[in-house]
Amino acid sequence: MGIRANKTGQMYLNSTQQTNCLTKMNDEGNGIDVSGCGVEKLTKTGSSCSDFTVDDVNMKFGDKLRKLSYNCQFQDTADKRGHLCEFCVNSWKDIKEVRSKNDKYAKAESDICRFAVLVSLTSTRIIDQAWLRKLYNSISNQKQPVNFAYTEEKRQEQDEHSELTEKHKFRPAIDLAMPKDSSLEVSIEEVYSATNILNESHFIGEGTAEKVYRGVLPNNQEVAIKHIIHEECIETFLREVKSLTNVRHPNLVALLGYSKNAKEYFLIYEICPYGNLSQWLFANNRVLSWTQRLEIAIDSAKGLPTNTLLGQDFEAKLSDFGLSKVIDIDEILHDLRSKSLLRERRAVEFVDPKLYGDYSTDVFQLTLELAISCIAPKQQRPSIEKVVDKLEEALAITRTEKASTPHSTPVWSSTSFQEQYRTLVENVT
């Protein structure tokens, strides 16, 4: 059923399909009769959960499914007392059909619904045979009645104990207190709910240390959720949470919260709908106007394009403090080619052809001069304040010219600029 759900979204078989399936299982079962094990009850009958699809399970039992997935991770190899199996079974038993207590069919219907959730979860990890064995062994070996109120409290205690143990065992150098503002901490369940259990349909990017998912929190706020995937980056995670939770700046991506347990760490940021600046600079199917480029340059100041995101109004926001991937060398103007253009005085070839001449020659000369000065020997470089001043001057000229002059093709004939350019290049190369 898990394979069927994975491929088609459908779960229970009708009576004819069920009979044929059981007959085939008995024929291939090496003498083992599976007819009396109860699987024949999991048949599509037209009532309640028996007709559910995977989508129906997500709609009606989404919270229970995510809780079952979370409590049945079996990631702690040091779990000698079977606590993780206990948590898994508790979540499994907690799945019930909503019916009157006097309804004589309530237990049977709850079983049908419970298995529908189990099949749905199985379909998401159908190729992970080791995990599937742990899951079904835990459920089939349950021996004691379950105390539902016990689950979350004990789970939290186990997480805290495991986290303390892991911290001293693997990361003795880390001793950073988390922020005192508990409102910033988001539960793992909310993270899973926001991303549909880290579903690939929510995946929006990946770095060397993290995967990023788009999600929606319970308050309907859309966010970007970073899943830290390398243990060696946990110290950076802790430092980032500690340093950024109280920082608010229009050109910094806001850290809205964090989530963690003994094994998983998440950072929750505001969403920047236009994505990564590098995608706009280097992709062929996206174009930023000259004015937008100047505005973004002013916003980002010292930012690299791979850790500069674009907000709702294309404002630049720096992100990934210590967690971002260093930009691939082939995404930027190749270093050797850039030096070649500098040496050969071919300034016009620095212009992005996607602009189609829609820029001011005077402003481009000003910004190119500024760019060259920024890669001059250290003692000759301008301060960041002067860089911002020059960029704002360039933006003001651009807006004035846009408002008063029709578009024309730039003409590269300024003798004074060529002389300035030659002098600057000689200083750099």
Q: Could you tell me the CATH number of the domain that includes residue 243? A: 3.30.200.20
Total of domains in the chain = 4
Report pLDDT digits (tens) over 393-419: 888 888 887 766 554 444 444 444 455
> In terms of domains, do 198 and 284 share one?
no
- Confidence band for 24, pLDDT divided at 50, 70 and 90: confident
Domain closes at, from 270, 301, 316: 270
The residues near 83 (Cβ < 8 Å, ≥ 6 apart) are 154, 158
Mean pLDDT on 381-403 = 82
Whether residues 351 and 408 share a domain: the answer is yes
- Rounded to an integer, what is the distance from CA 405 to the centroid of its chain? 45
- Domain identity same for 189 and 259: yes
Residue 344, domain extent = 333-429
Strand (E) or helix (H) holding 114: helix 106-124
- pLDDT band at residue 236 under the 50/70/90 scheme: low
Q: Are residues 127 and 235 in the same domain?
A: no
319 and 294 in a single domain? The answer is yes
Starting at the earlier edge strand, list the strands of the sheet with 265-270.
203-206, 210-216, 222-228, 265-270, 255-260
- 24 against 366, higher pLDDT: 366
pLDDT tens digit sequence for 100-147: 454 656 777 788 888 888 888 888 888 888 888 888 888 877 644 433
- Over residues 315-341, the mean pLDDT reads 46
Contact residues for 338 (Cβ-Cβ < 8 A; gap 6+): none
Task: Say yes or no: 12 and 65 in one domain.
Answer: yes
List CB contacts of 155: < 8 A, sequence separation 6 or more: 71, 87
Same domain, 318 and 374: no
For the chain, the maximum distance between any two Cα atoms, rounded to a whole number of angstroms, is 95
